[in-house]
Chain A
Amino acid sequence: EDQVTQSPEALRLQEGESSSLNCSYTVSGLRGLFWYRQDPGKGPEFLFTLYSAGEEKEKERLKATLTKKESFLHITAPKPEDSATYLCAVRNDYKLSFGAGTTVTVRA
């Protein structure tokens, strides 16, 4: 069965303090690793899809990278508006399997 583990569960950052979130996965036949952002009480918002080890994607202050066993979401010089829960998911055939998420709080 596919497994996705995200760490840490929660991350408190000072504005401008860069950090990384980890997503480790076990899947038979990876067909994509996805990152979503979720604000409280709202549906997840798509950020990135990564397909192969070594691939990187960037969007504003976020950068996602992928290895054969894990993915990292790097937040560079975060702002308070980057506060959210970040979800990682892997696709195997038709199904997405999600991790529990990392809740990031950025203080001004």
Chain B
Amino acid sequence: SQTIHQWPATLVQPVGSPLSLECTVEGTSNPNLYWYRQAAGRGLQLLFYSVGIGQISSEVPQNLSASRPQDRQFILSSKKLLLSDSGFYLCAWKVAGADTQYFGPGTRLTVL
């Protein structure tokens, strides 16, 4: 069966520091991968998605970036965090061509 991992689970970072969040999927090949951010009381906002290694599409212009160095690995990064980057970051995957996305456990990021 397929599983999705995210780490770290929680992170507290100062403003201006770098960020690296990692997501890996097991039990499937060539998944579509997604990064979302969830702010309190708001819906999930799609940040990036990827249909293959090295292929990244950005939904929202901001100081975040994403990379997919391996088939089942998706990384969210920032060179300098802003206060507004605080939130709950979710990684999701789906089988290419299928409809349903499955979410990871999330990373709670607090920028102070």
Query: Which residues does A use to contact B, with CB under 8 Å?
Result: 4, 9, 31-32, 34, 36, 41-46, 49, 87, 89, 91, 94-101
Contact = CB atoms under 8 A, between A and B. Distances in A.
Given A9-B41, A42-B105, A97-B43, 4 more contacts: A34-B99, A36-B103, A46-B101, A49-B99
B90 A44 contact: yes
A30 B97 CA distance: 16
B100 A34 contact: yes
Given A87-B44, A100-B42, A43 B99 contact: no
Contacts of B59: 95
Contact of A87 (B43, B99, B104, B105): B43
A98 B46 CA distance: 9
A96 B44 CA distance: 9
B90 A99 contact: no
Contacts of B103: 36, 43-46
Contacts of B104: 43
Interface in B45-59: 46, 49, 59
Q: Is the interface of A mostly helix, strand, loop or mixed?
A: strand
27 contacts: A9-B41, A32-B99, A34-B101, A41-B108, A43-B6, A43-B103, A43-B104, A43-B105, A43-B106, A44-B44, A45-B103, A46-B100, A46-B101, A49-B99, A49-B100, A87-B43, A87-B44, A91-B99, A94-B49, A95-B59, A96-B44, A96-B46, A96-B101, A98-B43, A99-B43, A100-B42, A100-B43
A16 to B, nearest CB: 29
Across the A-B interface, give the 9 residue pairs with the lowest CB-CB distance, nearest first: A43-B103, A98-B43, A98-B44, A44-B103, A43-B106, A100-B43, A32-B99, A43-B105, A43-B104
Given A41-B108, A42-B106, A44-B90, A31 B43 contact: no
Interface string B26-49: 000000000000000111101001
B31 to A, nearest CB: 14
